[in-house]
Structures are given as structure tokens and as C-alpha cells.
Amino acid sequence: MNRFNQKSVLLILLTFLAFRIVNGQFVTHHDPVYQANILKPNVKTPYFDPKFNSQVMRITDAKYFPTAGTFPQYSKRQAWNADETKILFISANGQSYLYDALTYNYIKVLIGLEGEDIFWHSTNPNLLIFSPDSIIKSYDITSDNITEIKLFPQYTWVNTRGEGNLSRDGRYYAFVGQTYDTCTHFIALNVFDFQLNSVISTLALPHALESFDWVSISPLGNYVVVDYATSDTGRYQGVEVYDRNLNFIWQKPLGYGHSDLTIDQLGDEVLIMDYYDDQTNSTFVKKIKLSDGTITNLIEFSWMFDCHISCRNEERSEWCFISTFDGEARLTHDSLSWLPFEDEIFAVKLDGSGDVQRIAHHHSRRFSPTTPDRDNSVYWAEPHATINRSGTKILFGSNWSQDVEIDTSVDAYVVDFSSLLNVDKETNLLPKAFQLFQNFPNPFNPTTKIRYTIPVSPLNQRGDQGGLITLKVYNTLGQEIATLVNKGQASGTYEVEFDGSKLSSGIYFYSLMTDENIEIKKMLLLK
């Protein structure tokens, strides 16, 4: 005779699920995880990815803004400023947009900020560095003042070709000087020292050089890396590495994969790059040590999808972050044919162990039966997921597999997985006096109490009636179940009772939102 009745089994199962989700566990296996069928979320309505337990929220509404899409610059570019209070987005029409990183509210268009190279200053949260043509400039986001730093009249353009970065201390900038008559000519590599305000080394490039993808200084400023975008051996082919004085160190025929530069768990400066292996017909993400070219394989996945790589996490730098997307060889898919790591954002450890932390599905498609190739598809529908400095949040672009033929369908999304890392979100997102507490009791049946505190704020200087306070309950699909509070409130501590008597057993989420903050917690209803 079975010792457990149906209710007991359900209780055990839900208790296990609650412990797994509430305690924040990453999915860490390498098996296929099929993307859940979720309706495109409303702007600033967070939901939890049902397969990976991370919090996801849509930030923008490009179609009605209107813009030609809104998304982070690129996976290799840091979207957050130095103190992670502002975010830089771009659009397919070349405009740059400033957003508040705490509330995800739109602030303004940054007029005159343009070019392939746009970087946040490494220490000044109000300053951007950019090079629109042959001049390096700075942009103050508080005053909108643009200041010329250095002019290079011998070139038409100075940049990294859109994929390099400054050194982490903001001192060094490696760029290629280019001229143009009827086509682009790559003239010379240069290393610019912002501290000295001058070029400290130059290397002339071959006159007949045709293939050049990108150049970048390394994170610590010790190396210059160039991807010539070929799979050939010999000088000025494949990937070459130089020291800061542009003395040649090594060359490898690594092709033209997506990549980023970082510092690994041993403190070595490394290149992380994807590489198609025709012997195994699969893609490898490799770590290449800049000092000597030593290669370590990090992970392998199907050749039928491509990826972008982001190593902008200066903290938790023992991980790199990968966003995969279906290529031209895979215009359709279903749950039976779903492949490991397909259309997914995940982290892989840099020690070669193969350890992964799987974070979210991005729900975006560039290639489809109606957009089958690179000439007839929207480039920015690739997710280009980019990680923040603290390694707790990721931005990505997605068309949610809707209206894939037009760029206005691409919006910016943020994934917050700090709860999976046991990170105190208050130190990252919220004023210290603002707090949403865990409901009590939890698990509950059928009622529970939710407590929160509202601080004195600029909207509420005397502590009296302030801005709008919204407390809502959602199910695991992000559907709103109840609105418990929706009004202005004075600063103080409040307690609200939630009645789940009409709901079925399961995991639910409650969200507290003000004009300045958002906080979300989980609760378990057991009947």
C-alpha cells in the first residue's frame, strides 16, 4: 500500500521546487532546455524565466517610441557606466539613448554621440569617450558638452572597427588609422595614451592589406590584439598579438569568430573566441592566453547556431557570458529538435572545466523562413547580450520572434540573476531604507502577509504622501494575479495581507515598484 496520498506527494514536490527556486540555483547541466512559450511581456513588467529561474524584464518599446529598434551597443561593449546608474542604448538609425539603470526609465537622446567606438569612462560615471571620425572626443552626459581630446589629421577615421575597448583603467586605446578615396585603406596600428595625450607606438600595415576585422588593447594594457579575419597562417593573417609597443609576439589562423578580451581566474589576459572546427562539425569557444598563445577549450555546441561573447564583468571575471542564436542553417525548430544551449544566454567558466551557469532564453530570431539570409534579415535581432561590471545583470536585444522583418520590433531586455548568486540586491539597486521583505508565513495557505518600507525621497521630502507605490502578485508566466497596493504613500513600514484561497498550489511572485525602484520576491502557496 502506498504510504503517501496524492496531497502528500504534491506537498513534497512543491516543497522541493520552492527550495530549489527560492534558494537560487542555476541550471548547470549541458542538456537541451527547450524555450518556453511566453507571450511578449509588457514594458517594465518583470517575469521569471520558467526554465532558468532568472528575472527578466523588457525595458523599451521601440515600435511606439518610435525608433529603429533599441538595444545595447554590442556584446563586447560595456552598456553600464562606472557606477552602474546609467545605461547606454543605441538604435539602428544611429542614435544613442541614455536610460536610468535603477528605474530603467528613458532619460534623453545623446545628440552628437556617434561613431563605431563609444566607451564609458572607466571611473567618471558622467563621461563617454568616442571617436566619430579622425578625432577622439569626450561627451559629458550631464551637460551634453562635447570636448575634443586629440585630432589625427593624417587619417580619415581612427577606431577599433567597432569591436575593441579601452584598457580597464581607461589609459590606453589601440586603434587602426584608416584613409578613404574609393575604398578604405588600413594604414597603421596605433596605441594612444590618454595620460600622456599622445600616441606611444605605431606599426605601419602592408599597403595591399584587404582583410581587417578589429583591433583592441588588452584589459591591463599589456597587449594589442588584431583579428585580420582570415584562417591563413603568416603575418597579418588570422589573429596576431603584439606588446604595447607593437612588437610582434604570435600569430594563429583563428578565422573571424566572435570574441572578447578578459582576465581569467589565474590573472592572465586572455582572448575568448568561438571557432568552427570542420573536423567535428561543431563550434568551440576557446580561451587563448595572450602572453604565449596557449589554447584551452571551454565549451562545444552545434554548428547550426552562432554566438556572441561578453567579458565586460570586471567582477566575477572567472566567467564569460555567451548568447547563442540560430544561424542561416536553422530557420525553424521545435521542442523535439532543440539543441543544448540553443537561443540561450549562459555563462561558462574560464578554467576549462566546462562548468556553466544557464541564465535565460532570449526569444529572438534573426533568420527565419521570411528572413533567410544576411541580406534579408535584421542584424540587430541577434541578442548581443552584454554583462555588467559586477556580473549580476545582462542586457540583450530581442524581437520576441515577432515582426522579424522590421528593425522596430527589436527591444532591450534586462536579466537580473543576482538572486541566483545570493547577492544582496539592496546594495546594487535600492536605497538602503527601501525594502521588500519575505512574506510570512512562507509556504502559506491560504493567506500570507507582505511587509515593505518606503523611505523619504525627493518626491517625499517631509515623509508625507509621496510618489506612486505599486504592489502586485504574478504567476510563473508573468501574468498579473492581483494588485494589492496602487497609490501614493508616506514614508514608513507597511504590511498587506494576500489571500490565495482562489488560487492553486504553486510558486508566485510579488513585486514592489516605486518611481525609483523595483524589487521582486517569491512565495509558495501549498494547499
Could you tell me the maximum CA-CA distance found in the chain, to the nearest angstrom? Answer: 88
Q: For residue 267, what are the contacts with CB-CB under 8 A and spacing of at least 6? A: none
Give the sheet arrangement for strand 223-227, strand by strand.
Answer: 214-217, 223-227, 239-243, 248-252
- What's the pTM value of the predicted model, to 2 decimals? 0.78
CA 262, 263, 265 angle in degrees (round to 5)? 135
Q: What's residue 527's pLDDT?
A: 83
Superfamily in which the 6-24+427-525 domain is placed by CATH: Macroglobulin (MG2) domain (2.60.40.1930)
CA 166/CA 57 separation, integer angstroms: 30
Q: Pick from 362, 261, 360, 374: which is nearest to 314 by CA?
A: 261
Count CB neighbours of 29 within 10 A: 9
**pLDDT reported for residue 275:** 94
Res 333: pLDDT: 87
What is the per-residue pLDDT for 462? 39
Which is nearest to 216 in space by CA: 184, 155, 168?
Answer: 168
- Cα(36)–Cα(244) distance, rounded to whole angstroms? 47
Contact 167, 135 (CB under 8 A): no
pLDDT at 422: 57
Domain boundaries, the chain: 6-24+427-525
Identify which of 505, 504, 512, 442 has the alpha carbon closest to the alpha carbon of residue 484.
512
User: Residue ranges of the chain with pLDDT lower than 70?
Assistant: 1-24, 422-433, 456-466
pLDDT of residue 518: 83
Quickly list H helices, 68-164: none
Assigned C-alpha cell, 421: 548568486
